[in-house]
Structure 1
Amino acid sequence: MRPLTREAQTSRNTIDSKRARRAEAVKYAPGFSADEHQKYLNATATQIVKNIQAKVWTATAVLEAYLARAAQVHDATNCLTEVFFEEALEEARRLDAEFSKTGALKGPLHGVPISVKDSFNVKGFDSTIGYTRWGNKPAEQDAVTVATLRAAGAIVIAKTNVPQTLLAFESVNPLWGRTLNPWSTAHTPGGSSGGEGAVLAADGAALGLGSDIGGSIRIPSGYCGIYALKPGHGRVSYHGSVGPNPGFEAVRAVAGPMGRSVADLERAARVLFGERGSGNAYLPAPVPYRDVTLPAKLRFGYYLNDGVVKGSPACHRAVLETVEALRKAGHECVEINPPDVARALQLFTGITSADGYEKLTSHLGSDKQESALFLVTLGPRLPGFVRAAAGWAIRTFVGDTQFASFLSHSRRKTVGKYYDYVADKLAFERETRGTLWSAAAGLDAVIAPVQAVPAVPHGGCDRLAPLACSTLLYNIVDSPVGIVPVTRVDPERDALSDAWRVAPGAGSTILERGLYGPKGAYDVRAMKGLPVGVQIVGEAWGEEKVLAMMHVVDAALGPRGFGPGSWDPSKQRGVALA
């Protein structure tokens, strides 16, 4: 075996030391006791604050319960990165002491244990997002969102795992390893806010913070069965969040809350919207939360297939059950043609690949590029004549014009060509908004699948990365979108029926074969019990209306086994990866 290079040895030392420190930090959690702790885990963030205010609970007692569960779920899923259990306990005791003296809550999130995605700076701790090169470089101050949540009384307990470069929907990287889905060890929790999805679904935190540039909040929320809000750009500060390509602005990342109830998302939004921090930031827009009144009868559009990949029976059922529930509640639901999702994916691919992903991958150093990025970064690595030949072969012999088109857009470009793509993106945004929210359409919201399948097995992103088209569409269009969990995979109800098989495909035969072929990712037996959710899409600058409509959808669906206290470690199926 060849000896490691100096850089590789430094990376290995960083991995070993940071994982060891994480293991020591997790030991500050008490052992989990259902009799002692479960009542706190069964409470929403809103209920936690009310019980502390009523002097029924203390912040310390609540925190100990969530730390005990966070340690438990980390052991089951490997979801945490930087861990602040000791510091959180000190903060809870300070909150209790101050409340005992004054009788006044620190703010609307007083005593609520929260987790944040690894990309958000927390003073005194690293923001590595999985790069060993970024280890041992602690942040000098909190991100604006983190500082704002702390000022409202929240207690930050940990940061959570993400994929390398934040570009894949599997949460795995060389520094922290792979995060598992809390419902199935054989499946990913999604990404890039995958650690957040896992810890929240399993009650390891009461509320969380993620970010989204192509589905990074919504995919893990759908995969893990939690609630989430992706705001439009300009509502929540992004200052103090790190990324591998900070100068990239053509499709702008946004920060948003993830949680276990719509009420908790609303509470977080009331705290975060329009808050700029102490700096002189141009964004977010100084627009605080605005209360809305919904009409008694809402009009929802919906679609089942995204125009690139045929949706699975499980995801079709989630949309149709939502539609049925809303109709029973007196609302109107009309099937609509989806926007041009294929065009959105072409634009997203063309824009993000403009420099051949050179900047995104420049931080790897001696770190091995994770396989989840293989298909994402393949196009620019191919010589032009090879890419052209491959596209021709795919169109001619496979008949998949969409996949061939995506490959052709994934290449290096001149600055002028990059400008053309951005101009096309802005035109597409205007056209799509104009269609969905025209007076003629008269829609209050659109109900859409999160992805074509409930979740993918580990390694699925290697060959199925374009599945993110169903979420990245609404980053290109910059619409506010909520996620509501609807149902769980049922092997009997969600199997591939003859009727489903003979129905027309949605576009890409390569992707559909990868999902539904003999060794496809859609295996309802392996997926049994995995959550399935829907996207609730609203008009630009309508985040408050989206949250209000999420309340409507959630109430119409009724009790269905999601939310606080729904996770049981014994229900995590499958065998953990080595």
Structure 2
Amino acid sequence: MPHWTELAAEKKQRQLKSIPQGWLVSPPPDSTLDVTGFPETCGLLTEREIKITNTSVDVLLEKLACGEWSAVDVTTAFYKRAIVAHQLVNCLTEIFVDHALARAAELDDHLQQTGKVIGPLHGLPISLKDQICIKGLETTMGYISWIGRYAEKNAVLVDILIECGAVPFVRTNLPQTVMWPESFNNIFGRTTNPYNRSLTPGGSSGGEGALVALKGSPLGVGSDIGGSIRIPSSFCGLYSLRPSYGRVPYCGALNSLEGQDSVHSVFGPMTNSVGGVKAFMKAIVNAKPWLKDPLAVRKKWQEDEYNLVDHGSGKDLCFAIMWDDGVVVPHPPIRRSLEMTKAALEKAGHKVIDWKPIKHRLLADTTARNYRNIWNAASAEDYMITTSVTGEPVIATMELDDSNVAAAPFRPKKVGITAYQLWQVQKLRKDIRKEYLDHWEATVSETGTGRPVDAIICPASSYAATPHGKNRYTNYTTVWNALDYPATTFPVTTVDPTLDAKKPPHVFYDDCDKGIYNMYDPEIFKNAPICLQLVGRTLEEEAVIKMTEIVDGALAATK
């Protein structure tokens, strides 16, 4: 067998050949950090294609449905912009132009002949994280050992997207093993943040985050086991949703640690508008995924829940802001975004109170311990078995310079635990979930609405996008995975060195908190997007989406 580096080089060469030569551009030098404006000035896209790619999902769907824009034209526009994005930030894995355009042409023919759309996502190009199988394509998931493995059938989610009329058109980069909050592997290399290429776009859905931020895709699908949708969306300034487990089908996709069901991964949308989040979720759940995936939840889109019938019909809502989690104090721009959101909501007539986090350290530690116990019991073996075919090394750090760098704290160790010990961790998590539910219910005494708090607003991370290899605290997202609460991200602002000057040291919770305080330099984080999370309760996706629309509208009214 060829050396693993030769296999990687051959795969990269095939990827390059899949790009139409006329779509290659001369990207700016590496010293140009912010490349968000480049796609519209590089000369490849026409004025009409720029207009198409700057259009939100809901408007795109309207224009596609009435035939004002053809599926071929829309797919071509986003494909060209996606290829430009890839040359800027290295965000793509699989590129299948002819296949996608053929699909788009079929949709156009159907609309012309029948006057009807195929489904609610008719003609919409959708990008997919490189673990969502498409028949006939390789799905490497960042593993060199999986080069040459072609999918024999689509993942269930792909079948449903096609049934809904969508056009899958690219797949996107992720970290080797998937289990990283950044994006680098030995095949496709490192994905960078389009707002500042010296920073990470996050992970593990980092390719999606970078691509959608550059408007190379109107809507992408990421996965989330501890924040892997919300972290890259936060770092790249996007709207997204981590749904509750089972709301979006997962069957037929690849993953690390397949077979364990203690910590569940979920698929969800990443896009440039909250309307895109709604369009995706409504289409997918109304397609009855439970008839194709035995683990999918049997719950169609509930219009009453979207209209907030259980939340006073959206009048005089009460939001709770979690300023910090009692473990790590967020950096100044995160605090400023929380203050901006509070002011906007109060101006819009809603009530805002403080959220008192309970046992977030224990919750995060329980989840992390669950991860570590599972990983330590089997993941080291899982990774080694997968990579042993080619001898590819298992990545231990995302640092640019990996010499003398200690492995990240969440990487697995070759130790195991008993089944009984694992059960105790799972029991503890179950008990905390009940305690958290009771805590939420008890807020009825503080809201003044006769209801408990309608939603929690909190950081998506304690910082903006970090330099590569520095994203090591993910508890602001992980706790909601432990509780299985749906959570969106929504953009608020960007890092401004003048407004977000470093503050004097606070009383640190511990050395981790101190370390994160010390890493803040407003010049390093300059121009990085800031997003927050809106968190609801299990299987409350419709209400969470609607409340995100309300928060987004309140913020827009203040700008």
TM range (shorter): 0.7 to 0.9
Deviation of the 1:515 alpha carbon: 2.7
Deviation of the 1:376 alpha carbon: 3.3
Given the alignment of the two structures, is residue 104 of structure 1 paired with residue 122 of structure 2, yes or no? no
Cα distance in 1 between the residues matched to 2:345 and 2:89: 35
Cα distance in 2 between the residues matched to 1:84 and 1:361: 29
Q: 1:136 aligns with which of 128, 148, 151?
A: 148
Q: How does 1:41-440 map to 2 (within 5 A)?
A: 41-273=53-285, 275=287, 277=289, 281-291=293-303, 292=305, 293-294=307-308, 295=312, 296-354=315-373, 355-356=375-376, 357-362=379-384, 363-365=386-388, 366-372=391-397, 374-377=407-410, 380=413, 412-438=416-442, 439-440=444-445
Aligned residues of 2:156 and 2:292 also touching (Cα < 8 A): no
Aligned residues of 1:487 and 1:560 also touching (Cα < 8 A): no
Deviations along 1:280-328, one digit per CA (max 9) or x if unpaired, are: 6322112111113233111101111122211100111111111111110
Query: TM-score w.r.t. structure 1 length?
Result: 0.85
Q: Name 1:554's counterpart in structure 2.
A: 552
Percent of aligned positions that are identical: 32
Q: 2:18 aligns with which of 12, 22, 25?
A: 25
Deviation of the 1:334 alpha carbon: 0.2
Number of equivalenced pairs: 513
Q: Name 2:517's counterpart in structure 1.
A: 516
Amino acid in structure 1 at the alignment position of 2:139: S
Deviation of the 1:378 alpha carbon: 5.5
SS at match of 2:462: coil
Deviation of the 1:230 alpha carbon: 0.5
Cα distance in 1 between the residues matched to 2:227 and 2:74: 31
Deviation of the 1:126 alpha carbon: 1.7
Q: Name 2:537's counterpart in structure 1.
A: 539
Aligned residues of 1:310 and 1:512 also touching (Cα < 8 A): yes
Cα distance in 1 between the residues matched to 2:147 and 2:259: 21
Q: Name 1:456's counterpart in structure 2.
A: 466
- Sort the Cα spacing of 1:200 and 1:302 in 2 relative to 1 into closer, same or farther, 3 A: same
Deviation of the 1:54 alpha carbon: 2.6
Amino acid in structure 2 at the alignment position of 1:67: Y
Q: Name 1:13's counterpart in structure 2.
A: 6
Q: Name structure 1 gaps, 5 residues minimum.
A: 1-5, 382-410, 562-578
Amino acid in structure 1 at the alignment position of 2:408: L
Deviation of the 1:269 alpha carbon: 0.4
Aligned residues of 1:226 and 1:485 also touching (Cα < 8 A): yes
Aligned residues of 1:486 and 1:560 also touching (Cα < 8 A): no
Cα distance in 2 between the residues matched to 1:271 and 1:126: 27
Deviations along 1:217-266, one digit per CA (max 9) or x if unpaired, are: 00000000010011011211110121110112112111111111111110
Cα distance in 2 between the residues matched to 1:331 and 1:232: 26
Deviations along 1:6-39, one digit per CA (max 9) or x if unpaired, are: 5xx3422321121111111122774722523111
Cα distance in 1 between the residues matched to 2:80 and 2:427: 50
Cα distance in 1 between the residues matched to 2:16 and 2:358: 47
Deviations along 1:160-194, one digit per CA (max 9) or x if unpaired, are: 11112111111001111110011111111001111
Q: 1:475 aligns with which of 462, 474, 481?
A: 481
Query: TM-score w.r.t. structure 2 length?
Result: 0.88
SS at match of 1:210: strand
Deviation of the 1:512 alpha carbon: 3.2
Amino acid in structure 2 at the alignment position of 1:508: D
Deviations along 1:331-386, one digit per CA (max 9) or x if unpaired, are: 000012123221122112221222513244222322222233722356735xxxxx
Cα distance in 2 between the residues matched to 1:545 and 1:67: 33
Deviation of the 1:124 alpha carbon: 0.9
Q: Name structure 2 gaps, 5 residues minimum.
A: 25-43, 399-406, 447-451
Cα distance in 2 between the residues matched to 1:227 and 1:280: 28
